[in-house]
Structure 1
Amino acid sequence: MTHDIHIIGGGLAGSEAAWQLAEAGLKVRLSEMRGGGDGTPAHETDRLAEMVCSNSFRSDDAEHNAVGLLHQEMRALDSLVMRAADQHRVPAGSALAMDRDLFAEEVTRAIEQHPNITVVRERVDALPDHPTIIATGPLTGSALAASIAAETGSDALVFFDAIAPIVHRDSVDMDICWMAARWDKGGKDYINCPMDRPQYEAFVAALNAGEKTEFKEWERDTPYFEGCMPIEVMAERGPETLRHGPMKPVGLDNPRTGRWPYAVVQLRQDNALATLWNMVGFQTKLKHGDQVRIFRTIPGLERAEFARLGGIHRNSFINSPRLLDSEFRLKSKSNIRFAGQITGCEGYVESAAIGLIAARFAAAEHIGETLAPPPPETAIGALLAHITGGADAATYQPMNINFGLMPPPASRLRKADRKKAYTDRARAALAEWLQEVPPHRQMGRGTIERSEMVEG
C-alpha cells in the first residue's frame, strides 16, 4: 500500500496519530522497530502503545484536575488511546488505570486491522524526505537521534533529562519571599526565598537523609553533568556547598532586613503567563514524597503546590519552542512533524494528545487546508501552546498538563472555585472550536456515545 503519511514510532503518540489519520481517510505507514529485530531497554513486548512504567493515566476527574480534563477532551476527539483505556480500566479510585496488557493488545488490534494503516516492523535511521510524524519517544534510536541532531544542531537533542521542580506562582508566600535579581541586575526577575543558618542546616540535613530514586540498569552508563548535578549530590559534598552554588545569597538584599540571607532559594519564571516558576538548580533524584516534604520546609514554600516534581533520567527530547512551528513542523524541514514525548511533553496521556493534534494538523495540510489550533483555554491547546512557543527555549524541560499552562481566569476567584472555573471555561472553548472546524474534519462526533456503550 502506498502511503500519504509516514509515522515513525508505535508508542501511544504514534498509535494515536496513525488512528486519527486513518480515520480521516489517509493511508498510513507506521514504522515500529520492536518486532523487527530491534528493541529498547525499557520495553518488554512488541505490542503497540506498550505502557512501560505505570498502568495509570492519573486522575479522571474532569471537573477539578487538568489531566482529567485532557481525558475528556480526547474522548470528544475520538481518541483510540482513551477508548482502549476505558474499555480495559481497572479499579483505581478516581484515577483511570487499566490492565496494561489488554490495553496494548486492544490498541495493536485496532491499528493492525485498520484498512488504511500498514504496520511495518523496521528501524528508521534517518529523517525521511516525505511527510512524516516522528513519535519515537524518550528512547529514540541512536542513528535516528544523530540524524535529528545533524538537522537541528547537536545541542537541540537532549539525552540526559535534568528536571527541577516547578511551583505554581499563586502558592508562594510573598509575605516571606521577595522579587529581585542578584545585585539588582536585570530587574526583579526572581522570587527569592530566604533562609537563616538554622533553617539552612536543617534543610541540608534533610536532603542528605531523604530517600533517593536509583537509576534503572539501562540508565547507569549515563553520567551526571556538572551543570545538572542533583541538589542532594551537591549537599553530600559538604555542608557549605549549596551556599556557594544554587543557594548563594550574595548580592540579594532582603528588603525586610536590609541584609543578605544566610542562604536563598531562587525561583525563575518558567512560562509566558508567569503562572509557573522553576526552582533554580534544584534538579533532584529525591523520591516525590520526600521532595514535597523537604521543599515545603523552605521559607515561603510551606504551602507550595507543584506543577511538576524534579527528576534526573536518561531521555531524548528536542527543544521544541526553538525548533517547531505552531503545527509541530520542523522549521528547517517542514515535511517532518514531531509528536509525543520527544517534543518535551511528559506523561502517557499528554503524549497521546500531542499525537492526536499533530495528526489532525497533518490531515488538514494533506487536503490543502489549515486547521485552527485548539484554544489555549483547553487542555490540549495549552499543551500545544507550551510546546511550540509558550515555554522559554533557554530553560525548556518536559512538562505534564497542569492548570498553570492555561491563561488565568479573568477575575480573581476563591481557591476552592478556581479549578472548576478552568474546566468549565475549557469545555466551552472546546465546544466552540469544534463548531468552527469544517464538518469533514470533525472526526470525533460519535466518540462520547461509543464510550458510553462500552462502559454500559
Structure 2
Amino acid sequence: MDIRVVGGGLAGVEAAHQVAQRGHKVTLYEMRPHVFTPAHRTPFLSELVCSNSMKSKELTNAHGLLKEELRLLGSIIVETADETAIPGGKALVVDRQRFARIITDTIEAHPLIRISREEVTHVPDGIVIFATGPLTSDGLADTLRELTGSSNFYFFDAISPIVDGETIDREKAFFGARYLDGSDDYLNCPLTRDEYDRFYEALITAERVQLREFEKTPYFEGCLPIEIMAERGHRTLLYGPMKPVGLTDGITGAKPHAVIQLRREDASGTMYNMVGFQTKLTYTEQERVFKLIPALRNAVFLRYGSIHRNTYINSPAVLTRDLRLVGNERVFLAGQITGVEGYIESAAMGLLAGISACASLEGHVFSPPPEDTCIGALLNYITTENKHFQPMNVNFGLLKGYNKRQKDAVVKNALSAISAWKDETDRLRSPLQRQED
C-alpha cells in the first residue's frame, strides 16, 4: 500500500523521498498548479518563497549543524541545496529556480513516487503524512482542525522585495560580507546618519496593507516586518537588518552609519533580495520608501514584499514523539505546520515523519533521535508540553546538555550521536530492504 504524503514543499518532498528510498511506494499530493497559495508562483516542488538562504554553513552554528546531520541522514533537500549553492558568505544560499527544478525532476523520475496534482481536503486512505506547510488550504485546514480537536493558530510571515540587479546604482553600493575582506557575497547599500534618519521617518509613517479582523494576530518574532521592527525605536534597525558592524564602505573607506545588504537570488546576479526587509507596506509605499536608499534610487522591483497567513498546530497537545496524531495512528504531520520555523527545520521534520511512517508500515517502533542532536532537540521541542508554544528555529539552547563553553564538543557529540542513531534505525529494516538498497 502506498504511503500518502500531502504537500509538495520541502517537508513533503523530504518525507516522500525518505519513504521511497526505503523501498515503499509513495503518492505525493501537490495542489499546484491547479490551486496556488498567496506566496507560490510556480508549479515546482519545494519552491522557496521567503528567502533563498538556508542560513549558516558553520558547524558551530545550530543551523549549520542541523544541515550536517541531515547530510548524514541522506536529505534530498540539503543535497540539492549543496548542488545549487551560490556565493553567500557563511550562509548556504541557493539559486532558487535551479533548486526547485532539480528537486522536481528528481522526484518525478523516482520509480516509487507518483505525483498527484490535486487539492486534498480530506484524510486519504492508509498511512498519511500531512506536510502542507504554513499555507495550508482552507479546506484542509478545516479537516486538520477537526482532527486535532482544537483550533489552529495563525501568525504571519512576510516576504522581502527582490530588485533588478541592473538598476542598482553601483557607485552607491559595495560588495562585501561581514568580517570577510574581499568577499563579493553581498551587495551593500550604505546610508549616512542623515540618510538613515530620512529613511526611518518615511518608513514608520508609510501606508500599510490593512488587515482584516481575523488576520489581526501576532507576528512570528523571528520574521517581523521591517516597519514593525522600526516602531520599537529609532535605533532598532541599526542592531537588526541595517546593522553596519563588520563592514567598511568599499567606496569611501568609511564606516557606514547603516547598511542594507542585498543577496543574489540567482547565480548570475540579475536579481537581488533585500535581506531582512520583509514588509507589509503597500506596493506604492515600497517604491517610495525603499528608493530613499541611495543605491536603490532608480531600482526596479521584480517582486514587492508581501504578507501571508502561516498556519501551525499546537503540536505538544496533539502529536506523539513519532509525529503521529494523538488518537489517529495512521496520520502523521511534518514540516512547518508542526511549529518548527525555517526551511531546513521543516525538511528535518519531513525526514523524520518519512522514517517514522516506514517504521509503522514495517511493524517496528520508531525511536526518536537523541535530544543532544539538533534534529532530536527540535522534535523534543514540538512534542513536549508547553503552555506558550510558538514556532521555533533550531538553536543550541534546545539541545540537551548544551554548554556554550564546549561548543566544539557539542558538535562532535551531536554528529556521533546522529550517526549511531542512523545505524540503529537502518538495522531495524528488513534484510531484503537493505539488500535492495
**Equivalent position amino acid for 2:43 in 1:** D
The code of the aligned residue for 1:85 comes to A
Say whether residues 1:371 and 2:366 are aligned partners.
Answer: yes
1:68 maps to which of 64, 68, 84: 64
- Contact 2:19–2:354 (Cα < 8 Å) also in 1: yes
Question: Which of the numbers 331, 342, 351 marks the counterpart of 2:326?
Answer: 331
2:99 pairs, out of 68, 83, 103, with 103
Following the alignment from structure 1 to structure 2, what is the Cα–Cα distance between the partners of residues 210 and 398?
31
Q: Structure 1 residue 158 and structure 2 residue 156: aligned?
A: no
The amino acid of 2:393's aligned partner reads N
SS class of match (2:70): helix
1:126 corresponds to which residue? 122
2-structure distance, mates of 1:341, 1:360: 17
Query: How high is the sequence identity, in percent, across the aligned residues?
Result: 42
Alignment match of 1:320 (pick from 294, 298, 315): 315
Please name the residue that 1:145 is paired with: 141
**SS of equivalent to 2:383:** helix
> What SS class does the counterpart of residue 45 from structure 2 fall into?
coil
Which amino acid is 2:328 matched to? K
Q: Residue in 2 aligned with 1:28? A: 26
Three-state SS of the structure 2 residue aligned to 1:336 is: strand
SS of 1:6's equivalent in the other structure is strand
2:80 is paired with a residue whose SS is helix
Q: 1:94, 1:127 → 2: CA distance?
A: 42
**Counterpart AA for 1:434:** K
Using a 3 Å threshold, how does the CA distance of structure 1 residues 369 and 137 change in structure 2: closer, same or farther? same
Pick which of 283-292 and 352-361 moved more: 283-292
Aligned to 2:55: 58
Distance 2:41 2:93 in 1: 19
The alpha-carbon deviation at position 41 of structure 1 amounts to: 1.2
Match in the other structure for 1:48? 45
Contact 2:374 2:414 in 1 (8 A): yes
Native 8 Å contact 1:212 1:285 kept in 2: no
Deviation at 1:93, TM superposition (A): 1.0
Q: How does 1:251-262 map to 2 (within 5 A)?
A: none
* Counterpart residue type for residue 323 of structure 1: V
Superposed displacement of residue 108, structure 1: 0.4
- Secondary structure at 1:16 match in 2: helix
Q: Indicate the RMSD between aligned Cα atoms, in angstroms.
A: 3.6
- Structure 1 residue 160: Cα displacement: 3.5
- Superposition deviation, residue 158 in structure 1: 1.4
- Which residue identity is paired with 2:103? V
Q: 1:118 to 1:387 in 2, by over 3 A?
A: same
Quote the residue 2:2 is aligned against.
Answer: 4
TM-score (norm 2): 0.67
Q: Distance in 1 between matches of 2:316 and 2:411?
A: 26
Q: Report the counterpart of residue 430 of structure 1 in structure 2.
A: 418
TM, length-normalised to structure 1: 0.64
Equivalent residues of 2:72, 2:419 under 8 A apart: no
- Contact 1:213–1:286 (CA under 8 A) maintained in structure 2: no
Contact in 2 for aligned 1:14/1:355 (Cα 8 Å): yes
Mapped partners of 1:367, 1:341: distance in 2: 26
1:359 aligns to 2:347 (yes or no): no
User: Which residue in the other structure is 1:204 paired with?
Assistant: none
Aligned match for 1:343, one of 316, 338, 345 = 338
1:313 Cα shift? 6.0
Distance 2:96 2:150 in 1: 35
2:425 maps to a residue whose letter is: V
Measured after TM superposition, the shift of residue 314 of structure 1 is 2.1
What residue identity is the alignment partner of 2:123?
L
Query: Over residues 99-155 of structure 1, what are the superposed CA-to-partner deviations in whole Å (9 max), with x where a residue is unaligned?
Result: 100000111011000000000100001123421000001111111111111222342
Aligned AA (1:79): S
> C-alpha separation between the residues in 2 aligned to 1:387 and 1:14?
18
Tell me what 1:398 maps to.
391
- Structure 1 counterpart of 2:185: none
1:15 aligned partner, one-letter code:
V
1:81 aligns with one of 62, 77, 97: 77
Residues 378-437 of structure 1 show CA distances to partners (whole Å, capped at 9, x for unaligned) of 010001110111x51x2111111001111234xx6xx5x343232122112213323433
d(CA) in 1 for partners of 2:357 and 2:308? 32
Distance 1:283 1:49 in 2: 20
Change (3 A) 1:438 1:78: closer
* Partner residue, 1:263: none
Aligned to 2:330, the other structure's residue is in SS state: strand
Q: Does the 8 Å CA contact 1:21/1:360 hold for their aligned counterparts? A: yes
Structure 1 gaps of 5+ residues are 164-207, 231-277, 298-309, 444-456
Kept after mapping to 2: 8 A contact 1:317/1:344: yes
Q: Partner of 2:12: helix, strand, or coil? A: helix
Q: Which runs of 5+ in 2 are unaligned?
A: 159-199, 240-277, 280-306, 432-437
CA distance in 2, matches of 1:395, 1:19: 33
CA distance, structure 2, for counterparts of residue 216 and residue 18 of structure 1: 40
**Matched residues in 1 for 2:26 and 2:397: separation?**
35
SS in 2 for 1:376: coil
Q: Counterparts of 2:117 and 2:422 in 1: how far apart (Å)?
A: 36
Contact 2:322 2:366 in 1 (8 A): no
